Amino acid sequence: MDLLPPATEPPAGGGAAGAPASGRRLRRGVGFRSLKLVSVSMDEPLPAVPVGVAYGRLANGLTYYVRSNPKPRMRAALSLAVKVGSVVEEEDERGVAHIVEHLAFSATSRYTNHDIVKFLESIGAEFGACQNALTSSDETIYELLVPVDKPGLLFQAISVLAEFSSEVRVSAEDLEKERGAVLEEYRGGRNATGRMQDSHWALLFEGSKYAERLPIGTEKVIRTVPHETVRQFYHKWYHLSNMAVFAVGDFPDTQAVVEMIKEHFGQKAPPSCPPPVIPDFPVPSHDEPRFSCFVESEAAGSAVVVSCKMPADTIKTVKDYRDSLAESMFHCALNQRLFKISRRNDPPYFSCSSAADALVRPVKAYIMTSSCRERGTVEALESMLLEVARVRLHGFSEREISIARALMMSDIESAYLERDQMQSTTLRDEFLQHFLHEDPVVGIEYEAQLQKTLLPHISSAEVVKFAANFSTTSSCVIKVVEPRAHASLEDLRAVVLKVNTLEQNNAIPPWDEEQIPEEIVSQSPEPGSIVDKVQHPGIGATEMMLSNGMRICYKCTDFLDDQIVFTGFAYGGLSELSEDEYTSCSMGSTIAGEIGIFGYRPSVLMDMLAGKRAEVGTKVGAYMRSFSGDCSPSDLETALQLVYQLFTTKVEPREEEVKIVMQMAEEAIYAQERDPYTAFANRAREINYGNSYFFKPIRISDLKKVDPIRACEYFNNCFKDPSAFTVVIVGNIDPSISVPLILQYLGGIPTVRNAVQPLTRDDLKGLPFKFPETIIREVVRSPMVEAQCFVQLGFPVVLKSTTMVYSVNVGVFLGGNKPSRSGDVRGDISVNFSCDPDMSSKLVDFVLEEISYLQNEGPSEEDVLTILEIEQRAHENGLQIQDEGRLKVREALTPQSMQLALQRVVPFPCRKQFTVVILMPKSSCWNSFKALLTWSSGGFSRDAKVVALNESVAGSVKSVFKPWEQRLDTSGGFLESNEGDPELLVFIPFTSDVKIKSISVVGGADGTSPSRMRALVSELYLFCYLTHLFVPLNRMFINREGIDFNDAQNMQPVQEWELAENLQGVLEYQTRYSRFQGVANLTLHFPENFGGDTTKIYYIGLRGEATQNKRDVVATIVYEIMPNPSDHKTKSETGGGFSHVE
């Protein structure tokens, strides 16, 4: 039995929350370092009952957690957790768990017509899209952050949670009101990120119910599910024995809150019949890796994701906890290596990281993710797998382990020292994990002692063993995301085979460590002196003028024991530059940041700062340049040393370093050009701010003009003259320690010879921009895989009486103005929302009507009180110094004064000057011919020429070719093989040559999906373009429209795929694109399935392009040969700029 060193004194308890600042500083100096070790056995169980919380279970089965906590002040974090999510849904219920979550805020037995929302708004509680509830595969969680400074508020908020538990009203009218908002949330998730996540999820959990039960559900269920089905689901699964209520907040009497919970929940009787047992849904393991090449035309860039699944573990004993620490050290050490690789010359990826993640209740995964250049996914994957294999063979060095240990020790030290300032939401979330996943809650004091005791004894061998979990034979799923197809499944398999062979042959060399300097500042500077000092008793601050001209203002606070924050700023920024210099100089921060702004490369500095909590960053804006930092009081010297290095070292770019930075910038620009929302935002800025160079996006053509030497020279000059800067320092400061450090490292920054007189705010040059003087309405049409619509208006309004939008954002932008003493500034107020494309014009009119109403009639007294309450709640815990000017504005705010303000700030009447910019999907060629798939101009024919062999119902093959958005609709029929014979052969003719990029197949459930697909191409051309001539170079197969099963089995396929059960319709199988050019007809052979008696296919989609004429033209037009709306090339793909407006 393993024992750790004995403790010499009992575990330290938490300090008093009201201790004086000096006491806190004293405890900070000796607190963690004097914390004694504990004597524990590895078999010793950790407490099953959570520590530091009133915890219990009512007779009806409800579990409760209640704890008093002072941060944030006069707030309580409440929650109701239900151990039920989307995975328990039946086929006709897909999405119902999420719909119930929406209905809870709509109406209950006591609250109707969104009264709960009105109550939360009236008390200034946070409320909005994605803020108050979430539905996952395994659980549903409702969350409230409410004020408790007025009698009755907490009591009523707990009553709301009690209503959610059993009193949600589910009527036909309620459901119809919420369908629009749920559909808009569904639509919002069908962007590039959502499509990629859904695809990966289906592949990760293939063979389990989790693959088929995404929480958002299906569009068909959202649109058509009857309210009886929703009500039945709610009453079946929402039982108090499956629930827990949580209350953590700034209330003095914990027992009183427990009594409130008993009053609201205790009277609810348990069901007469036992509730159904929540079933387990196993996820099958697999030895062979699964691969996916996902081509997403709107992807932000190329990426590789390696996920290795394993059973979820629970921490029950000290040994389990020690193993979890060793696991964290593994990922920490591996991430250090991955970062260093990303900073090499010609790296395989731009960024890469590793982590462990609990995916669903029975499964967790090790996930390694990288972003890389286009055409670089195969290289990135090889590097990722190679590094983990290197760890398995050679382990980590002692220095790597010590760095990981120091980083983890620093984190737990900070958490321990700030244990009295822990946020209530953080504690609530800990208790949530205890209820939902049995994570132990032992208290921060004991956890700090455990880590301090255990971490020094964890060996490199213990850490390295976790690399085995990253094996490609451990239920591994490898996904590659690309905006255009470059990598194939064969490429990925070849990489896995190559790395495995190298590892088996011990042919991977050890990690090569570089030398790390001992000190950040090689020679201590001569301290400066204080030439002037002023006290500001009104705000408790001290101002000092240093001998080098830098002005310092510091304030001692007791908000957080382990934090000091500071910002240094100087007037003068990018607005002072000419248009010719702007592009190069605006890249200065990017280039310098990647090379290293403190005299060391980022990978070297990372090791130098290991175990220290000190960060410094820079920013160069239009009118100001600044540096900001965050550090522990014990690491203030390190943070100030970084500032000293910033001013005293020059960034000198080397060609190979600049090449990588510019390549990253280029990839980022291409990604922006692919993104419809970026195209929309760029056009909106262009409309609202004219042709101002400052608001223009950087294009590839601009990037080629960037002078990296000039860029770095500009950056160096921005942080050179200390006399131009004012530095504000706030936090747990001990002046007797901090001021000498300030004098040495800030006062020691040398003055600049022949320094230019620092600019004042009155000297600044304003940016050239002008808001349009007339009404402008414009529709930005962008290629989209799935139809989305986003609207921006130049006015403020809150949409709350329509369910056609899910989220609304009202923003104010004043960033184009230089700092002003008068407050006379220009800017814009915008309303942004997403909606159904068909509803955009109607909703724009609704917004304008609301603004006009507010200007002419004014807001109600209730609206003003609600706004004041929300603003006050945000101010109370966000700002610590009372603002007299703000109080005067609040006192003067009435419906009449707000009405006058709207008339003055916004053009009155509002309809005389505004802009409306609407993002819409570019029209799809598919939609142009959606009545039938007969394309006279070239493409796919849905007439008698489309045939299938071995179909059980003659002509049923035609039903599988349908619009992409209908791919999961089975009402129109499907293709099925004859009983006992799963083989199918589908012949697809085209009326002109086509290029096929990918194929999508949606099959049936219960083993009836096809498991293999072979492509047999008749008349396949490899071609090139020669001045208006199309030249067939090689005919791979003779045109044979009458291929039968014997032919199919004997012919060599052009390409073959192992298929997954793609029940969600999210997977695409990439073709070898160069071999699928000039296809006249295509035969798909499905030789086998997953064990069913028949093979069922509900959908076949082909993505690519068709030539306009028939095999004798040069120009190609871009349109779908599969029913996937709006999949068009952009000009950026053909060498031109991105087309914003149709």
Q: Which residues are catalytic?
A: 101, 178
Nearest to 891 by CA among 871, 908, 911, 916: 871
Phi, then psi, of 829 in degrees rounded to 5: -115, 125
Question: What span, in angstroms and rounded, lies between the C-alpha atoms of 248 and 423?
Answer: 9
The number of angstroms, rounded, from the C-alpha of 1056 to the middle of its chain's C-alpha atoms is 35
Question: What span, in angstroms and rounded, lies between the C-alpha atoms of 255 and 236?
Answer: 32
Burial readout 1097-1129 (b: 16 or more C-beta within 10 A, e: otherwise): bbbbbbbbbbbeeeeebeebebbbbbbbbbbbb
H/E stretch holding 645: helix 636-648
Residues 6+ apart with CB under 8 A from 151: none
Q: What is the SS3 assignment for 608?
A: helix
Phi, then psi, of 140 in degrees rounded to 5: -125, 130
Residues 6+ apart with CB under 8 A from 991: 935, 936, 938, 939, 940, 941, 1110
Cα distances (angstroms) measured from residue 1005 to each of 212, 695, 1084? 10, 52, 20
Pairing state between β 551-556 and 541-546: antiparallel
Question: What span, in angstroms and rounded, lies between the C-alpha atoms of 248 and 157?
Answer: 13
At 146, the amino acid letter reads: V
Nearest to 184 by CA among 215, 141, 219, 214: 219
Maximum pairwise Cα distance, the chain: 96
Q: What is the SS3 assignment for 35?
A: coil
3-state secondary structure string across 333-366: HHHHHHHHHHCCCCCCCCEEEEEEEEEECCEEEE
Nearest to 82 by CA among 137, 141, 132, 131: 141
Angle between helices 655-674 and 676-689 (to 10 degrees): 90
DSSP H helices, 691-839, are: 700-703, 708-718, 735-745
Residues 6+ apart with CB under 8 A from 1049: 1087
381, HSE (Cβ side, Cα atoms, 13 Å): 33
98 within 8 A of 92, measured Cβ to Cβ = no
Angle between helices 444-454 and 398-417 (to 10 degrees): 160
Residue 750 is classified by DSSP as P
Radius of gyration of the chain from its Cα atoms, rounded to whole angstroms:
32
Number of CB atoms found within 10 A of residue 383's CB: 22
DSSP H helices, 10-132, are: 21-30, 96-104, 115-122
Angle between helices 579-586 and 588-595 (to 10 degrees): 20
Phi, then psi, of 29 in degrees rounded to 5: -70, -30
161 within 8 A of 240, measured Cβ to Cβ = no
Burial grade of 774 (CB within 10 A; 0-12, 13-18, 19 or more): exposed
Cα distances (angstroms) measured from residue 263 to each of 111, 120, 164, 260? 18, 21, 15, 5
Question: What span, in angstroms and rounded, lies between the C-alpha atoms of 72 and 878?
Answer: 9
Please, which residues bridge with residue 564 across strands?
Answer: 631, 731
